Structure formats: structure tokens, C-alpha cells
């Protein structure tokens, strides 16, 4: 069993070891390459305050780049008996370079080390999610514009209510994603602050240059107060989880609509055949499994903020091992959300709509409001017009006029999709992904 960084004269029993380590090694694989990046920035800073020579820095950076490449290829392994990713990286450096490998931990704790790892990981994930949200948004806008003149019934209380259109339906989910992106932007801004240098939550007697590591890692600013930097553990994950839950809520609702509209009783849309499955005994079945699974996964994601809150809630200031458990639900959630976004984009792109829904006379009553409004426009008091049309419907005498003309902003005849696209463009422009990527690229480039 490898010696732990904190080992003195007492060794754990195997049972205690298993309980306390838990799934840490598996979860830390998500953070491996980010741990390397954080270490590269940290030791670069250490060399400027005299804790590493330029020769030591050069050999350490060279080896760390090799470890990063290994992690990026998915080949990084945390060995049996090694406690976590931080220990594994330091062990690899010490094996290759001797005692100089032990110098990388000066001026930091595993507490601020995992904080910066998490923030670097989250930043990358938010960038990928923002890209996937935009791709789904673009497909929704395309379908909205393509089918803007295809009418469908709108519902309240699951009762047919008023005329809607596929332009409205697709466009509604596009605009919903704009608001979700606002949540994502808030999560990005909270995440994009540097905790490195806060050590165990109380700073360091070394004259650390925290602004330098902030710049090297492409953060907007730092978490200035070292106690608050540590208090951000759990809070950051919770706020990011809320942004993910907002997106998941939009996807879950979209999936529910699509599953319902795909059923034979509605037949409003047709899902791509490769996204449906059959029955073992009913040869006619085409079940919308992909969207059903999307709905379930997204409902689970909407519980994530509560899970994180219940783990970190009511802890006093300072670090506690409770926070480690957050990783187990939080880190895998990104892949699940990205998969759901990818699937939803694929289905929306391939979805076919039924242009003849309202040919069925069962939907004639949805045009009743149009008739009431026409009569009111011609001078009849609204309540009298409402009563007349209601009585006509009850008597079976109502004949709908299906030539509707809605002109106000956001209505069937004026979708305002250009305005919705402009809103999305504006939100996305506020993410400074380029600065982050440029900083990391410079760290990973030899002699930069």
C-alpha cells in the first residue's frame, strides 16, 4: 500500500481505508488532467517567489505535460493504495524526478488543489454544454421557421384550447433555452474565479502570487477571501447543478410533448425510426424510448441541486470530508446532460410534422375565440359574442373560420424568431471561453 501524503505513525485498517476512500479514485479520474494543469500554474508561480529553481521548473513542467497527455488519452490510472489524484501525480513525478517531485505541494493544500481542479473541470464542461445547447437551439429555430405556417391545436388542462402552430411550439423551446443559458452564464461567472492559494482555507505564510496563477489559468478573478474560497466548495457545485437542472427541465418537457404528440391518438409528429423500439409481442409498436429515457434522465438531473444541498447544507465554515461525496453525483451528471442534449438535437432535426392535423373536425372548437373576437371587432359586446358562440357550439351550429390572422409580437403570424436568436447570441457572447482556452493552451505549450 502506497504511503499517503499525510501519513505519520498510524496506518489505517483495510475496512477504514475502504470506507473513507470509497469511490474517490474513480471520481478523481474526471479531474486528472485538471489537477495537472493546476499544478503547472502553481509551480510556475512558485518559481517566481524562489521556491523552485528555473531548472527544477523546467523538468517538472516537462513531466507534467507528459502526464497531462496520458490523462487526455484516458490512460491515467490511480494505482491501488494511492489515495487520490493529487497523490498519484506527485508519486509519478517523484518516481521520475526524485525529491524535486515532492516540491510541488509547497504553498497549497489538497483542499485548494481539489477546489481548482473542480473549477477547471466545471469550466470545460460548461463550455461543452453551452455548445450543445446552442446546437439544439439552432435546430429548434430551423424547425420553427420551416413549419411556421403549419397549425396545430394548443392545449390548456390537456383540453383543446386555441390555435397554435409548429412555429410556436418549436420556437417556445428555443426561447426556453435562452433563459436556461442565462442560468449557465451565472454558473460560469461563479465558477470562473480562482481558489488556488487559499490552501486549507486560511492562506499560507509563503508569499504566494495568487494573481499570477489567476492569470495563468485564465480565470476572471480570484476567490479573494481564503475562508470564503473554501466555503465555495459545495456552493459552486450547487449553483452549477441549478443551471444544469434548468436545461434538464426544458428537455424533459420537450420529451414529454414529443412522446405524447407521437402517439397514435395525436399523430402530430413522427419521430425518427431509429429512436424508437418495438415490442416483443405487439408487432405494430414503435415506442419513443429515446425521449422517454431523456425525460427520466432529465428528471433525475433536476434533483441534483437538492442532492448537493443536502450534503453540504448546514456545515460550518472550513473543510469537511462530507464534501467529497458530492463528487459521486455531480461529476457524472455532465455526461448525462450532454448525452440528452445530443439525442434531443438529433431527434428534433429528423422529426416530421403532420401538416393536416386541423382537417379533423374534432379540433373545430379551437377557432371559437377567433369568431368571438371577430364579432367583438364588428361592434358586438365581447360578453354577448362569447355567449352567442358558446350557444352555437352547444347546438352544433358552430362553423369555424380557419383563416386566422395574428400579428402581435410572438404570435402565430409574428414569431419574432430573429429576436430570440439575438437574445441567445447576446448571452453566449458573455462567456469568455476563448480567454480560458488560450490560457490553458499557453500552459501546455513548451517554452511558451
Count the neighbouring beta carbons within 10 Å of the beta carbon of residue 74: 10
389 beta partners: none
Residue 6 pLDDT > 50:
no
Supply the pLDDT for residue 276. Answer: 81
Task: Give dist(CA 292, CA 344) in Å, integer.
Answer: 11
Give the start-to-end residue ranges of the domains of the chain: 14-105, 110-151+163-359+416-444, 360-413
3-state helix, strand, coil in the chain (%, to 5): 65, 5, 30
Selected from 2.60.40.10, 1.20.200.10, 1.20.1050.10, 1.10.3720.10, the CATH number assigned to the domain covering 110-151+163-359+416-444 reads: 1.20.200.10
The three three-digit cell numbers of residue 241, written as one number: 447543478
Residue 383 pLDDT > 60:
yes
Residue 300 pLDDT > 70:
yes
For residue range 240-264, what is the model confidence (pLDDT) as tens digits? 999 999 999 999 999 999 999 999 9
Burial 219-233 (b: 16+ CB within 10 A, else e): beebbeebeebbbbb
Task: Give dist(CA 150, CA 172) in Å, integer.
Answer: 15
Supply the pLDDT for residue 309. Answer: 96
Looking up cell 490553458 gives 440
Looking up cell 490560457 gives 439
Supply the pLDDT for residue 17. Answer: 73
Reported pTM: 0.93
Alpha-helical (H) ranges within 206-303 are 210-216, 226-262, 289-301
For residue range 213-245, what is the model confidence (pLDDT) as tens digits? 999 999 999 999 999 999 999 999 999 999 999
Task: Give dist(CA 57, CA 296) in Å, integer.
Answer: 49
If you classify domain 14-105 with CATH, what class do you get?
A: mainly alpha
195 beta partners: none
pLDDT tier, 329 (very low <50, low <70, confident <90, very high otherwise): very high
DSSP per-residue string spanning 2-17 = PPPTT--S----HHHH
The three three-digit cell numbers of residue 382, written as one number: 365581447
Amino acid at each position: 500500500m502506497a504511503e499517503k501524503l499525510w501519513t505519520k505513525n498510524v496506518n489505517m485498517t483495510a475496512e477504514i481505508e475502504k470506507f473513507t476512500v470509497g469511490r474517490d479514485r474513480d471520481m478523481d479520474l474526471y479531474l486528472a488532467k485538471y489537477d495537472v494543469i493546476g499544478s503547472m500554474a502553481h509551480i510556475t508561480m512558485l518559481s517566481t517567489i524562489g521556491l523552485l529553481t528555473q531548472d527544477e521548473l523546467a523538468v517538472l513542467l516537462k513531466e507534467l505535460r507528459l502526464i497531462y497527455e496520458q490523462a487526455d488519452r484516458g490512460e491515467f490510472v490511480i494505482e491501488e493504495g494511492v489515495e487520490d489524484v493529487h497523490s498519484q501525480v506527485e508519486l509519478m513525478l517523484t518516481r521520475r524526478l526524485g525529491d524535486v517531485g515532492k516540491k510541488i505541494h509547497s504553498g497549497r493544500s489538497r483542499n485548494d488543489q481539489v477546489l481548482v481542479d473542480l473549477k477547471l473541470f466545471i469550466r470545460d464542461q460548461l463550455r461543452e454544454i453551452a455548445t450543445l445547447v446552442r446546437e439544439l437551439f439552432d435546430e429548434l429555430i430551423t424547425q420553427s421557421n420551416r413549419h411556421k405556417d403549419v397549425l396545430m391545436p394548443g392545449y390548456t388542462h390537456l383540453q383543446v384550447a386555441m390555435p397554435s402552430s409548429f412555429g410556436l411550439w418549436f420556437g417556445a423551446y428555443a426561447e426556453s433555452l435562452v433563459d436556461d443559458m442565462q442560468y449557465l452564464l451565472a454558473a460560469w461567472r461563479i465558477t470562473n474565479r480562482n481558489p488556488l492559494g487559499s490552501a486549507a482555507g486560511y492562506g499560507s505564510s509563503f508569499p504566494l502570487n495568487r494573481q499570477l496563477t489567476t492569470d495563468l489559468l485564465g480565470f476572471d478573478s480570484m476567490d479573494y477571501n481564503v475562508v470564503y474560497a473554501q466555503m465555495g466548495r459545495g456552493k459552486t457545485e450547487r449553483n452549477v447543478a441549478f443551471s444544469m437542472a434548468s436545461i434538464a427541465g426544458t428537455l424533459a418537457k420537450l420529451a414529454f410533448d414529443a412522446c405524447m404528440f407521437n402517439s397514435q391518438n395525436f399523430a402530430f409528429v413522427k419521430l425518427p425510426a431509429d429512436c424508437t423500439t418495438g415490442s416483443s409481442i405487439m408487432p405494430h409498436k414503435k415506442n419513443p424510448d429515446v425521449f422517454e429515457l431523456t425525460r427520466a434522465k432529465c428528471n433525475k438531473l433536476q434533483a441534483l441541486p437538492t442532492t448537493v444541498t443536502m450534503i453540504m447544507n448546514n456545515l460550518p465554515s472550513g473543510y469537511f470530508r462530507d464534501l467529497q461525496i458530492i463528487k459521486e453525483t455531480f461529476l457524472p451528471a455532465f455526461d448525462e446532460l450532454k448525452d440528452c442534449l445530443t439525442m434531443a438535437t438529433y431527434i428534433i432535426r429528423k422529426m416530421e410534422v403532420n401538416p393536416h392535423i386541423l382537417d379533423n373536425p374534432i379540433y373545430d372548437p379551437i377557432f371559437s375565440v377567433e369568431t368571438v373576437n371577430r364579432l367583438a371587432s364588428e361592434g358586438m359586446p365581447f360578453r354577448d359574442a362569447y355567449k352567442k358562440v358558446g350557444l352555437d357550439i352547444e347546438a352544433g351550429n358552430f362553423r369555424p373560420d380557419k383563416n386566422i390572422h395574428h400579428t402581435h409580437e410572438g404570435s402565430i403570424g409574428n414569431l419574432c424568431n430573429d429576436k430570440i436568436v439575438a437574445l441567445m447570441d447576446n448571452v453566449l457572447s458573455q462567456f469568455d471561453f476563448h480567454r480560458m482556452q488560450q490560457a490553458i493552451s499557453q500552459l501546455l505549450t513548451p517554452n511558451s
